[in-house]
């Protein structure tokens, strides 16, 4: 009998979360982590591609002769 109740409780929580409900003791850690990630994303420096103007992060950018390019293709076009 307790097993059926447990399944019912899990199904209830799953349904509650499915419809956008928040379970504080389950969601707190994840939420804090996500906020840290998005803050990091905002701080991250971006540059626009010298050819097509696409914004790329410093990490993904290709830098050639002080110009920033989003991809090898754009770097080839610039030559």
User: Rule CB under 5 A: which residues touch Zn ion?
Assistant: 49, 51-52, 54, 70, 74
* Residue 46 vs 51, nearer CB to Zn ion: 51
* Residue 47 vs 51, nearer CB to Zn ion: 51
Alpha helices in the chain (DSSP H): 2-18, 24-43, 72-78
* Residue 70 C-beta: closest distance to Zn ion, Å: 4
Task: Work out whether the CA dihedral 63, 65, 69, 73 comes out positive or negative.
Answer: negative
* Residue 60 C-beta: closest distance to Zn ion, Å: 11
The neighbour count for residue 8, using CB atoms within 10 Å, is 10
* Cα 23 from Cα 20, distance rounded (Å): 10
* Residue 44 C-beta: closest distance to Zn ion, Å: 18
* Residue 47 vs 54, nearer CB to Zn ion: 54
């Amino acid at each position: 009998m307790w097993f059926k109740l447990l399944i019912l409780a899990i199904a209830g929580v799953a349904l509650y979360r499915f419809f956008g409900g928040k379970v504080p003791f389950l969601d707190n850690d994840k939420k804090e982590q996500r906020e840290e990630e998005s803050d990091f994303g905002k701080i991250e420096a971006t540059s626009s591609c010298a050819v097509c103007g696409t914004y790329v992060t410093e990490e993904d950018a290709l830098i050639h002769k002080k110009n920033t390019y989003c991809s090898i293709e754009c770097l080839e076009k610039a030559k």
